[in-house]
Amino acid sequence: MKKLMTMISVVLLVSSCGLYNKYERPDVNTTGLIRDALSDVDTLAVQDTASFGNLPWRSVFTDPQLQQLIEQGLEKNADLLNAALNVQMYETMLRAAKLAFLPAVNLGNAQQQMGYITTVHSDPSSTVKAYTFPATATWTVDLFGNVLSQKRSTQMKLLGMKDYQMAVRAKIISGVANSYYTLLMLDEQLRISEDMGQMAKETWEMMQLQYKLGRVRSTGVQSAEASYLSTMTKVNEFRRQIRSTENALCLLIGQAGQQIPRTTLAQQSLPSEFATGVGAALLKNRPDVHNAEMSLAACFHDVQTARSQFYPSITIGATANFSNLTGSSNPGKWTTTFFGSLLQPIFNRGALTAKLKVTKIQYEQAFNTWQNAILKAGNEVSNALVNYNQYDANSKLEAQRVKVLTQNVEDTKALYKSSSSTYLEVLTAQTQLLTAQLNLASNDFNKMQAVVSLYTALGGGGK
């Protein structure tokens, strides 16, 4: 009873030292984490709890061609495959950490094989076969939580690795979507440039005819030709960018470079109403934020491990040996030995103290990283919201501008044919229209890219 009371007292003392404590999330303030995209001074006072980032990616990216590309990327992307293998490695490490609570059993020892048989000549007239099979079992008593804290640390690292896998998954989804929308934008810009190239060619030919009739000077013909050549240069550049983007997208989805089947920019339909959810939702939805917190939790348990190493290490065990070496006749018999050891560190040249200080510093670093990850998440959501609103407004303005300039080109060409306008006005009108059309395609793409960024920033990438 006295020994039992002593053991209980030791356990209570250790518990009061915090060696068995579990990780608990530190206090964090997420108020005002996301800025209002329509206000220059106020933060977003969010009331809803549902988040745009919780939607399945198929509900956000509804283009069938894009969905096939995303599915292929999730199946074949090398980075995602490696992330899955990393998870398997940490699952194996966790299983090993759990088995550390069990006794270790070995056949043989450092001086002996698992079992061996020898020939003993105890009498010149007889030969006796001598054999021995030694076995040892040891068990480390985890009285001070050393093995427990190591197991918990490995658990946190496994969760963090799963978060990393989800982060890679979300990155692939957003990367495929952005590349796909880039191709649609380039297709639209190529079409616009080819149409403008044809228009510029017609203007150049008209100038040549007017020059032959003596109505314009040679400089007018040269300007028209230069405008046509400039437009065709844009056509070639867009073709180059399309091929380069296709190659990059093929690499992302794990296939050799080839043409990507796709629809058009005008056929895209993306959500326009967004619920960002409360700021605290980013703590669980964002895989990178959760990964940073799991790293913090792992560091917390590393500190516990370093603390526990100041306490005694208790080991109990037994050895058994089946042999006939104690006598000259067969069969043999068992011999057993029980033992126990207690190792108390007293002076270890400051290694234990240094390790504890290092783990505490690493915990502080992990805490700072986690806090910064939360701020970064809020910053990305705020930027995506304001980008969408601004590009949406710009698209509406550019669409109106294209409509006005299209009519302006037609009116200027009609005036030129009636000699009421000059060739310079025609070229200027065409150039302005081309610029407006290219800007409209670019703004539409940027608006789509903002939707992708917002979905990712809110922790998207779910099934």
For the segment 136-149, what is each residue's pLDDT rounded down to a tens digit?
Answer: 777 666 666 677 77
| Residues 364 and 447 placed together within one structural domain of the fold | yes
Give the tokens for residue 406.
């299209």
Q: Could you give the number of structural domains in the chain?
A: 2
CA distance 246 to 7: 69
Decide if pLDDT at 334 tops 80: no
In the predicted structure, residue 370 carries a pLDDT above the cut 70: yes
For residue 351, the model assigns a pLDDT of 83
pLDDT of residue 58 exceeding 60: yes
Residue 2 inside a domain? The answer is no
pLDDT for the residue numbered 305: 83
Provide the pLDDT for residue 167: 85
Domain shared by 260 and 112, yes or no: no
Do residue 196 and residue 327 come from a single domain? no
How far is Cα 301 from Cα 158, in angstroms, rounded to an integer? 13
Residues 283, 320, single domain; the answer is: no
Q: What percent of the chain has pLDDT over 70?
A: 73
233 and 271 inside one domain: yes
The pLDDT assigned to 49 comes to: 42
- Answer whether residue 204 is part of any domain: yes
pLDDT at residue 192, as a whole number: 92
pLDDT at residue number 41: 53
Q: pLDDT grade, residue 186 (50/70/90)?
A: very high
- Flag whether 14 is in a domain: no
Q: Residue 403: its pLDDT value, please?
A: 94
Mean pLDDT of 306-333: 67
Residue with tokens 């995602």: 80
Indicate if 279 and 290 belong to the same structural domain.
yes
Structure tokens at 164: 């990393």
Mean of all residue pLDDT scores within the chain: 79
- Residue 291 and residue 265 in one domain: yes
The residue ranking higher by pLDDT, 79 or 417, is 79
CA 267/CA 253 separation, integer angstroms: 23
- Domain membership of residue 30 (yes or no) is yes
Band of residue 381 on the pLDDT scale cut at 50, 70, 90: confident
Say if CB 25 and CB 293 are below 8 A apart.
Answer: yes
Q: Is residue 4 part of a domain?
A: no
Output the CA angle 288-293-296, nearest 5 degrees.
130
According to the model, what pLDDT value does residue 326 have?
Answer: 53
What number is the average pLDDT over the span 434-454?
91
Residue 324 lies in a domain: yes
Half-sphere exposure of 248 (CA within 13 A, CB side): 15
Look at residue 450 and tell me whether its pLDDT is greater than 70: yes
Per-residue pLDDT of 389-422, as tens digits, reads: 899 999 999 999 999 999 998 898 888 777 777 7
**Is 221 found in the same domain as 117?**
no
Distances (CA, A) of 45 to 225, 244, 281, 358: 57, 43, 14, 41
Q: Give me the pLDDT at residue 96, please.
A: 76
Residues 154, 56, single domain; the answer is: yes
| pLDDT band for position 306 (cuts 50, 70, 90) | confident
Domain boundary among 344, 366, 400: 344
* Domain of residue 123, CATH code: 2.20.200
Instruction: Tokens for 412, please give them.
Output: 């200027």
Question: What pLDDT, on the 0 to 100 scale, is given for residue 274?
Answer: 74
pLDDT at residue 259, as a whole number: 93
Q: Are residues 235 and 137 in the same domain?
A: no
Q: What percentage of the chain carries pLDDT values higher than 90?
A: 27
Q: What is the mean pLDDT of residues 103-119?
A: 54
Question: Do 396 and 414 belong together in one domain?
Answer: yes
Domain boundary among 298, 329, 344: 344
Q: What is the pLDDT of residue 48?
A: 46
Provide the domain limits for residue 417: 21-101+144-310+349-457
Domain assignment present for 12:
no
- Whether 5 shows a pLDDT value over 50: the answer reads no
Strand partners, 316: 139, 340
**173 and 318 share a domain?**
no
The answer as to whether 155 is a domain residue is yes
The domain boundary residue, chosen from 323, 344, 365: 344
User: Is 100 in contact with 147 (CB distance < 8 Å)?
Assistant: yes
